[in-house]
Amino acid sequence: MGGCSCVYVGDYDQPSFSKQIIRKAFKTHKCCECGRIIPIGEKYEVISGAWEGRFGTYKTCSDCLSIREEFFCEGFFFEQMFEYLKEYLNECDGEVPSGCLLSLTPDAMTRVCGMIDEIWQ
């Protein structure tokens, strides 16, 4: 994890158990964060586990995974990453170290820079 700009999400639920796997898509999937279709051949993360007694499986595209790894060093809630990231970027007036952005995938960098541009306008 990069840890240069930590988005704090408050108290988040730790799973009672979970398993994390990076897979290569053999069929299409939908990213739980951005909603984009993960195409065949692309790597993505799968986390399965139990949160508050409920089983869940979450698939995250490589772009969203790079954002989460860079900005969410103290935990996160699935399906709420962009909501928390937008709030964080607003609070810091879009000022984040360039190293944070450079470690993102190109598409993730474009998306985060677009969010920063909206703040600056």
Task: Give the DSSP H/E element, type plus range, for residue 118.
Answer: helix 106-120
Strand pairing of 43-51 and 17-24?
A: antiparallel
What is the CATH classification number for the domain harbouring 65?
3.30.1740
For the stretch 2-52, pLDDT in tens is 446 788 776 667 788 889 999 999 999 999 999 999 999 999 999 999 988
Question: Dihedral (C-alpha) 121, 37, 73, 18: value to the nearest 10 degrees?
Answer: 160
Q: Does residue 61 sit within a domain? A: yes
Range of the domain at 61: 17-120
Tell me the whole-structure pTM to 2 decimals.
0.87
Measured over all CA atoms, what is the biggest interatomic distance in the chain, rounded to whole angstroms? 44
Domain count, the chain: 1
Instruction: Give the number of residues written for the chain.
Output: 121
Per-residue pLDDT at 16: 82
